[in-house]
């Protein structure tokens, strides 16, 4: 596995994530069943781990509804977009353990300083207008304990179809689409603590 490179913007991460997820979906691994030993029958017991918790979050113009300030590690986020026009996303960025500033303060940083946090992205979920979201990076599950910035960096007013098509075609850079400032400029960010 290679080490993540530091992108220069959150939109770059999303473009790369979309491209990688489309490539991963097109690839699959196969094995020759004749080379595999016969599987032993298995039984399940009542001591198996329960299913992971799920938190339903609604993306709106320009906020997250139903997102708790604290969740347990292993929680899966299920995102739905209630907007009629705007594409929204749920980008979960794990902040460094020694970073103590509130997310509201971090969002005021210049883009080049904010970019220093990008390697901590654990998951990205995109949700088209009026639809359920889907993970384009990670699985939508927050597994590592710590403090997270949750943001939406989609350009305001961007055409959802144009954005997703451009993201699928981008080669690691941010999708080049028309639109205004990212949704975080309108206050679409939150802070979540994932407990161990």
Phi and psi at 26, nearest 5°, equal -80, -15
Q: 16 CB contacts (<8 Å, ≥6 apart)?
A: 7, 170, 172, 173
**Integer angstrom CA distances of residue 86 from 16, 156, 179:** 21, 7, 11
Tens digits of residue pLDDT in 93-140: 999 999 999 999 999 999 889 888 878 899 999 999 999 999 988 999
Q: Helix, strand, coil proportions of the chain in percent (round to 5)?
A: 25, 30, 45
So what CATH class is 10-23+52-195?
mainly beta
- Mapped onto helix, strand or coil, the DSSP state of residue 119 is helix
- Put simply, whether the predicted model's pTM sits higher than 0.95 gets the answer no
The rounded radius of gyration (Å) of the Cα atoms in the chain is 18
In this prediction, residues 34-39 reach a mean pLDDT of 39
Tens digits of residue pLDDT in 158-182: 999 999 888 888 776 668 899 999 9
For the beta sheet containing 75-81, the strands, ordered from the edge strand earlier in sequence to the opposite edge, are 63-65, 54-60, 75-81, 141-142
Where are the chain's structural domains? Answer: 10-23+52-195
Flag whether pLDDT at 18 surpasses 50.
no
Per-residue model confidence (pLDDT) at position 57: 98
């Amino acid at each position: 596995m290679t080490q993540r490179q530091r992108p220069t913007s959150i939109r770059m991460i999303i473009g790369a994530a979309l491209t990688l997820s489309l490539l991963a979906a097109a690839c699959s691994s196969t094995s020759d069943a004749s080379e595999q030993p016969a599987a032993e029958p298995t039984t399940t017991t009542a001591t198996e781990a329960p299913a992971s918790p799920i938190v339903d979050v609604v993306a709106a113009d320009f906020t997250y509804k139903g997102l708790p300030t604290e969740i347990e590690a292993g929680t899966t986020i299920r995102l739905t977009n209630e907007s009629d026009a705007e594409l929204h996303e749920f980008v979960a960025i794990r902040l460094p353990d020694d970073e103590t500033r509130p997310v509201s303060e971090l969002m005021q940083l210049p883009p080049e300083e904010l970019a220093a946090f990008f390697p901590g992205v654990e998951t990205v979920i995109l949700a088209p207008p009026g639809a359920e979201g889907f993970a384009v990076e990670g699985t939508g599950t927050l597994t590592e304990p710590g403090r997270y910035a949750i943001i939406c960096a989609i350009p305001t007013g961007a055409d959802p179809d144009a954005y997703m098509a451009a993201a699928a075609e981008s080669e690691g850079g941010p999708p080049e689409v028309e639109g205004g400032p990212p949704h975080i400029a309108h206050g679409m960010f939150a802070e979540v603590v994932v407990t161990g």
